[in-house]
């Protein structure tokens, strides 16, 4: 038995996406920059994928800069915008950002820009008043707050935060990597200046993403070389990957609503069952969350232990974020929410996808009940 409940870490490649990619791994191998027929064919495929991705988030194709993924898009947004600012300028990121934003922020801090980390409330939400306060504590050039959190699934009111940022003349970036595919994501409606997205969270291939930018946003490239991606990201394009991203985007546009409904149904069903297990605490239940995500802890059991026990039953979940797990530290997101370490160590994330079924949720719950019972028995035998 194999049940995959870790779609926030990554999704399987949709068979239709793979089919769209295959020609670009075989016959259509031209470099999109080449002037001959093979090159022109690749250039057309690149343009089509750019249109498909642009259409999904409601922008013009020229506003899409393809990157090697969400991590690079986040690095480009933060470092690229701050490189245009005066030395010593300030920037704001939220305490619950993905490591690719937080680590970029720490690197910028070492380069002598001033970092201000804005906190969240106990539901994991960045409050607009706290955000505005953070922007006002000096001359701020950039702010970055994620649209949806990869661990808790908590969705921020980015439109409201962007309005605050615009009023204060601050460039607003959002990491929408986790939101895309699980809720509507419209660039204009969010009001941001830049937004990161990634293909492998929407049933596309790994290693490809994009930074979506408003027209005229001033940004320094991180990679220098040829004039690819309007001079913002040098390097021969990962054409099969980009074509796959485009195909995944087009499919998503047609299927978003049923995917959302399906996820909501599974989550409601799973949470009702989880409520009957007395040791379970579900995080951020009062906040608006992605429909597919449940982040919970079992009192008295470590998340990593539960993950391994479920894995033995063929069920794949995550303990905290995929990138952070293995670090031995409790989730920085839960810490920012004020969750005590004892409970935070127990955190487990279940994230549903379109191929999951109610029967799989039943198997998850029965396996959880069995594992919790035997692990707690083991714990009390040692106590
Ligand atoms: C919120 C968020 N941002 C960024 C990333 C990084 O994206 P990628 O894996 O495409 O580099 C992830 C991946 O887990 C994520 O969840």
Using the atom order of ligand 1, give the atom closest to the CA of residue 200: 10
Q: Is the CB of 238 under 6 A from ligand 1?
A: no
pLDDT in the model for residue 320: 67
pLDDT in the model for residue 277: 94
Among 7, 97, 98, 322, say which to mutate for ligand 1: greatest number of ligand atoms within 8 Å of CB: 98
- Among 147-156, 198-207, 239-248, 315-324, the least confident range: 315-324
pLDDT in the model for residue 383: 67
Name the residue among 198, 171, 167, 150 with its Cα closest to residue 351.
150
CATH of domain 15-251: 3.40.640.10
Average of per-residue pLDDT across 141-159: 98
Using the atom order of ligand 1, give the atom closest to the CA of residue 148: 1
pLDDT in the model for residue 324: 46
pLDDT-above-70 percentage for the chain: 97
pLDDT, tens digit, for every residue of 214-225? 999 999 999 999
* Rounded distance from Cα 245 to ligand 1 centre (Å): 15
Average of per-residue pLDDT across 338-342: 95
- Among 233-237, 293-297, 371-375, the least confident range: 371-375
Q: Is the CB of 198 under 6 A from ligand 1?
A: yes
Confidence of residue 321 (pLDDT cuts 50, 70, 90): very low
* Rounded distance from Cα 71 to ligand 1 centre (Å): 6
Q: What is each CA distance from 292 to 262, 268, 269, 298, in whole angstroms?
A: 9, 10, 11, 19
pLDDT in the model for residue 326: 54
In CATH terms, are 3-10+256-382 and 15-251 the same topology? no
* Rounded distance from Cα 9 to ligand 1 centre (Å): 8
Residue 279 has pLDDT above 60, yes or no: yes
Residue predicted with more confidence, 383 or 249: 249
Average of per-residue pLDDT across 203-209: 98
Catalytic residue positions, numbered: 323
Phi, psi of 254, deg, nearest 5: -75, -25
Domain ranges for the chain, please list them: 3-10+256-382, 15-251
Q: What is each CA distance from 109 to 16, 64, 126, 287, 327, in whole angstroms?
A: 43, 28, 22, 31, 23
pLDDT in the model for residue 325: 47
Q: Is the CB of 202 under 6 A from ligand 1?
A: no
Q: b/e string for 275-292 if b means 16 or more Cβ within 10 A?
A: eeeeebbebbeebebbbb
Q: Is the CB of 11 under 6 A from ligand 1?
A: no
Residue 192 has pLDDT above 80, yes or no: yes
pLDDT in the model for residue 327: 59
pLDDT in the model for residue 323: 43
Rounded to the nearest integer, the mean pLDDT of the chain is 95
Q: Is the CB of 69 under 6 A from ligand 1?
A: yes
Residue 35 has pLDDT above 80, yes or no: yes
Alpha carbon nearest to ligand 1 atom 8, residue: 70
Assigned token pair, 302: 């470590």
Name the residue among 80, 252, 50, 59 with its Cα closest to residue 173.
80
Name the residue among 179, 130, 188, 189 with its Cα closest to residue 155.
179
* Rounded distance from Cα 207 to ligand 1 centre (Å): 10
Q: Is the CB of 156 under 6 A from ligand 1?
A: no
Please state at what angle helix 239-274 crosses helix 358-382, rounded to 10 degrees. 70
Q: Is the CB of 209 under 6 A from ligand 1?
A: yes
CATH class of the 3-10+256-382 domain in this structure = alpha beta
Confidence of residue 194 (pLDDT cuts 50, 70, 90): very high
pLDDT in the model for residue 138: 86
pLDDT, tens digit, for every residue of 10-31? 999 999 999 999 999 999 999 9
Residue-by-residue DSSP string for 226-273? S-TGGGTS-S---HHHHHHHHHHHHHHHHHHHHHHHHHHHHHHHHHHH
């Amino acid at each position: 038995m194999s049940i995959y409940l870790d779609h926030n870490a990554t999704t399987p490649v949709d068979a239709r996406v793979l089919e769209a990619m295959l020609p670009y791994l075989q016959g259509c191998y031209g470099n999109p920059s080449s002037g001959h027929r093979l090159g022109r064919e690749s250039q057309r495929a690149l343009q089509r994928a750019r249109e498909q991705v642009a259409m999904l988030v409601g922008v013009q194709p020229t506003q899409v800069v393809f990157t090697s993924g969400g991590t690079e898009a986040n690095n480009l947004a933060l470092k690229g915008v701050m490189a245009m600012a005066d030395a010593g300028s300030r920037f704001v990121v939220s305490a619950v950002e993905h490591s690719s934003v937080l680590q970029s922020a720490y690197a910028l801090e070492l380069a002598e820009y001033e970092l201000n980390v804005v906190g969240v409330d106990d539901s994991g939400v960045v409050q607009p008043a706290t955000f505005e306060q953070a922007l006002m504590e000096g001359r701020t050039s950039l702010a970055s707050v994620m649209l949806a959190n990869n661990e808790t699934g908590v969705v921020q009111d980015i439109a409201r935060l962007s309005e605050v940022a615009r009023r204060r003349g601050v460039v607003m970036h959002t990491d929408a990597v986790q939101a895309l595919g699980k809720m509507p994501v419209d660039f204009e409606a969010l009001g941001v200046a830049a937004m990161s997205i990634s293909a492998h969270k929407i049933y596309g291939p790994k290693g490809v993403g994009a930074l979506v930018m408003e027209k005229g946003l001033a940004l320094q490239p991180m990679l220098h070389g040829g004039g690819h991606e309007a001079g913002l990201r040098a390097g021969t394009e990962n054409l099969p990957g980009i074509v796959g991203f485009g195909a995944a985007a087009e499919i998503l546009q047609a299927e978003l609503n049923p995917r959302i409904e399906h996820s909501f149904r599974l989550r409601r069903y799973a949470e009702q069952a989880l409520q009957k297990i007395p040791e379970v605490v579900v995080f951020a239940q009062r906040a608006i969350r992605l429909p597919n995500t449940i982040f919970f802890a079992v009192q008295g059991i470590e998340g990593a232990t539960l993950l391994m026990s479920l894995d033995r039953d063929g069920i794949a979940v995550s303990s905290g974020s995929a990138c952070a797990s293995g670090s031995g530290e409790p989730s920085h997101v839960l810490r920012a929410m004020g969750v005590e370490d004892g409970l935070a160590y127990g955190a487990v994330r279940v994230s549903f996808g379109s191929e999951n079924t109610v029967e799989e949720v039943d198997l998850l719950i029965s396996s959880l009940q069995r594992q919790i019972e035997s692990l707690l028995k083991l714990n009390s035998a040692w106590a």
